[in-house]
Structure 1
């Protein structure tokens, strides 16, 4: 049992940092001696984000200590961040693993190991926070939010974080290293950091700050765990409301990708290690399919912010896509006694791919069926009819009643809320029905022969006309035959005309030459631009020339263009080198010292590329000077 334990500093000090401060105060020279004092074992590993063996630590705290394992895990590790979107059962197992001594599967269980978002290489600090901490407490400490991958600014001071000299995974896996003035790069030599405006385009900075604030909320609040299907359903329902998914939940992937990139900007997405590929295998596309694997919390937060959902709403309010509101709906049958009353309970929705909007079909018990496109943006839309599919017997009975009153067609149309042509059409149908009803059982054969003769005479008179055109010329005859003698009608009508097909074969050789010229011009334009470099990829070139689909699907048919693109598209390394050359030019233009850290910041070189490309930078500088 240890005799003292450092009090955690506010604003989310890491448990790793608390234990590092204990190591300093204990006077131990050996890191293993500290580990043994804290955990009763010399084999415990110093883990930054999701440590295990917390129960052992609690059992060794001084008598009277009111700390619990769960309190330390929730308040002083990254557990609340990584567990927020995990299924309840997996969250429970992860918490138990962190309390116990089986920490080997924690990172796999939370999806960190499989994620393409990689953890930071060095521990990070905010210089403003560090100076405040030195003034108040006389020492610096590691904050947990500063260590979240993708977080590059301090949520309090809104300035860029700086890498310390302390590796997240250093040589001695048992050593807890405390933050100091020396290893946190607080000397004047490191004070000239790039501003956030040079890293993220200014218009997207507020969105990045909101993202960082949401990370803080995940760390400082315990939201109830939900199954993956809950989040998937929330996202799909909101995409429906935004018109990015149809009523069946099928997402319009290309439009989603385009709007997502436009919303965040490529520089922001690069910083959070979540760029969007131009195909259906991107992480964004996978998020809006049925959940099959764990998604990194940063990407959940990106999706939530894009959809306009707050964290509180995400966990407490279940989105339900109701483009026409809730039932009952209004009956718009002007011939019924319940006109404009909410009596319609039968409504179906389909998605119209032509107009890219939902279409609702409303069926009343009176037989009146109407449809309209949605969503309803105001109350007045409830009173609109897009198209009447069926008027029903009650409406037709009302029409018959009004016709017998010898009213004008215009007045009847006004009362029934239709146009005059509709009154004419259905009035004629009613009269035809009466004729058929009166003749039933008396002159069936005579009527049939009469209608047949009329139809044949019509074809003789207009031999060039089609069946549809003849129907318009004598709708009464056609309607009778269709209802009473359809087989004869089909046999004795003009045959369907064959529309000759036109051979529009593509001259691929000619098209190859035309496309090659345009592609070369675009590539030259990208390479000679003084603006921030763009990576030369097939998809980017395709977008710029307006032929993305052609290059994606038929590049094999354009051999010259294909060969040129193979030789001139950028690998990741090629692009990084171009960005370094551009950044060097920017430094010279601004009159700044040509130092690697400054060039790397301007060129947005991060992670594993930073060390790998430093030698390339030095070679370029040696050639220049």
Structure 2
């Protein structure tokens, strides 16, 4: 049992507190400190997700108020990494941190499988360190600075820097405290141009909210939810943004474009969350049914993009309501409850042709109407797109208005419909203006006058077809159709013969034309003095404005296909061409041709750095 234990500073890592204990204990051997704190010499020091916390608590001074769970929640990165885990797994990892099963924690929490790499060095904020030194007389390791993908201090909004202390120290049993020396407080910090550009870019305000949300995850206890909960929340919000249809199918291309526009490619690269067109891209995977653990920083990037408040993500379930909440108003002008919110039955489907949701609203009075969504204002709730069923209540009102001897126009006005609708449904009632208008007062029918009128109509409109003439005088046509159909058919314009046009594609001709266009673009790309672009089918297709043709019908264009196969570039070929261009640029600017400068100008990074350095040496020797 130890005789004392340092009080953790605000937002201090437990690792840092134990390192300060080591200094104050006077122990020369790190293992002696380990044994004093944990009762065992085999405990390994871990910066982010330490274990054996129960053993530590049992060795604290008598009367200590600390608990294992409090230290884990307030002084480790567990709240951040566990926030988006299923409840069972989060609880299991918490128990492992309390106990002595720390060997598999990073694997089970998803850190090992993530493409976001752990920080190599413990990170610090110069402003925070200076304030700590002034207030406490010493510096310490701040836990919110150690989140991979976070490059800004949430308190001062300044860049974080690497200290001299490795996250995975060569001595696995040693706690290394923060000092003025290993925090580089007296040195001038240098940053890469990419990071400087990202900090000064227009996208940084969106990213700062992500940084602030990291602090919220660390300092608040959110109840764990299953992965399906977050997936559902994201999909519902994407529907509201028009980036997913009513069925939950995400418009991947539009999503990637808007996500890049929101954060900027440079910033996403720096936080190890670049977006690609690959189906296995992390952004695409997040909006498919959850099968893998996603790094919390990417959840936070998605949340900020979707405009979801962090607190609401756990407490309020998003629901896509393109027409608002029920009940909905009945738009049956023939019913006593007209415009009153009485409809609770609505079915919503996605129309792939118009790419919009369509709602069908059914009232108990029999009136059924449909309209397109989503609603953009409250007034949209009172608009009818199409009436599917008028119902018996509406028809009864129509009959009542006919018995009042009102005009067609007045009936249509009262029922909020078109005059033609009144005619159509009035015919079924037996007494419509269509029929009455063509009856003589003495109820004697003059068939010849109707025939002459139909013939005169054709003389006035010689170019119109039978159907078009019907629209000009529907009443006349209706009477003749019902009472003199044989004569009507014999004395109407004949059906026009439709001449079929051969629209078959001449693929040989198209192949020649496309080949010439493609060839010109490829030569333009390869000979351009500007920064190189990779020759790919998609890039060439976009430049010649024939992307769909090349993607879907290239097999029908053998000449074009053969040319593209000879000239499209692999990633390696493209990187080598970029190196050659960068060498020429350095020579043109008068710089020494050195690998670090060439790789920076060419934009070579990641796994290609070492492999292409050999290629650079070969090219340089040939040029020199």
Alpha-carbon distance, 1:414 to partner: 0.8
Unaligned runs of 5+ in 1: 436-460, 481-493
Partner of 2:126: 127
Tell me, what secondary structure is at the counterpart of 1:289?
coil
Alpha-carbon distance, 1:301 to partner: 0.8
Distance change >3 Å, CA 429–CA 337, structure 1 → 2:
same
Q: 1:515-530, aligned counterparts within 5 Å?
A: 515-517=517-519, 519-520=521-522, 523-524=525-526, 528-529=529-530
Partner of 2:512: 510
After superposition, the C-alpha distances for 1:56-77 in whole angstroms (9 at most, x for unaligned) are 1111222232211111111111
Inter-partner Cα distance in structure 2 for 1:33 and 1:150? 35
Q: 1:20-35, aligned counterparts within 5 Å?
A: 20-35=19-34
Partner of 2:204: 205
Relative to structure 2, which stretch is displaced further, 205-214 or 548-557? Answer: 548-557
Aligned partners of 1:522 and 1:541 also within 8 Å: no
Partner of 2:310: 311
Partner of 1:386: 385
Inter-partner Cα distance in structure 1 for 2:181 and 2:523? 52
Distance change >3 Å, CA 410–CA 585, structure 1 → 2:
farther
Alpha-carbon distance, 1:576 to partner: 8.6
Partner of 1:490: none
After superposition, the C-alpha distances for 1:486-511 in whole angstroms (9 at most, x for unaligned) are xxxxxxxx9x9997764225336425
Alpha-carbon distance, 1:404 to partner: 3.2
Aligned partners of 1:87 and 1:226 also within 8 Å: yes
Inter-partner Cα distance in structure 1 for 2:66 and 2:57? 7
Partner of 1:566: 568
**RMSD of aligned C-alpha atoms?**
4.3
Aligned partners of 1:535 and 1:575 also within 8 Å: no
Alpha-carbon distance, 1:225 to partner: 0.9
Alpha-carbon distance, 1:585 to partner: 9.6
Partner of 2:441: none
Aligned partners of 2:180 and 2:186 also within 8 Å: yes
Aligned partners of 1:55 and 1:100 also within 8 Å: yes
Distance change >3 Å, CA 517–CA 245, structure 1 → 2:
same
Partner of 1:265: 264
Alpha-carbon distance, 1:90 to partner: 0.8
Relative to structure 2, which stretch is displaced further, 420-429 or 119-128? Answer: 420-429
Inter-partner Cα distance in structure 2 for 1:355 and 1:542? 27
Partner of 1:444: none
Distance change >3 Å, CA 5–CA 573, structure 1 → 2:
farther
Distance change >3 Å, CA 477–CA 108, structure 1 → 2:
farther
Aligned partners of 1:371 and 1:385 also within 8 Å: yes
Inter-partner Cα distance in structure 2 for 1:596 and 1:25? 47
Relative to structure 2, which stretch is displaced further, 346-355 or 305-314? Answer: 346-355
Unaligned runs of 5+ in 2: 435-457, 459-463, 484-494
Partner of 1:96: 95
Aligned partners of 1:253 and 1:285 also within 8 Å: yes
Distance change >3 Å, CA 92–CA 410, structure 1 → 2:
same
Inter-partner Cα distance in structure 2 for 1:386 and 1:373? 7
Inter-partner Cα distance in structure 2 for 1:273 and 1:426? 66
Relative to structure 2, which stretch is displaced further, 392-401 or 344-353? Answer: 392-401
After superposition, the C-alpha distances for 1:60-118 in whole angstroms (9 at most, x for unaligned) are 22223221111111111110000001111111001000111011221122111221111
Distance change >3 Å, CA 52–CA 286, structure 1 → 2:
same
Inter-partner Cα distance in structure 1 for 2:155 and 2:622? 43
Q: TM-score, normalised by structure 2?
A: 0.81
Q: How many aligned residue pairs are there? A: 582
Alpha-carbon distance, 1:362 to partner: 1.0
Partner of 2:137: 138
Relative to structure 2, which stretch is displaced further, 273-282 or 89-98? Answer: 273-282
Aligned partners of 1:537 and 1:570 also within 8 Å: no
Aligned partners of 2:579 and 2:602 also within 8 Å: no
Aligned partners of 1:324 and 1:376 also within 8 Å: yes
Partner of 1:358: 357
Q: 1:411-426, aligned counterparts within 5 Å?
A: 411-426=410-425
After superposition, the C-alpha distances for 1:23-45 in whole angstroms (9 at most, x for unaligned) are 33333333323222222222222
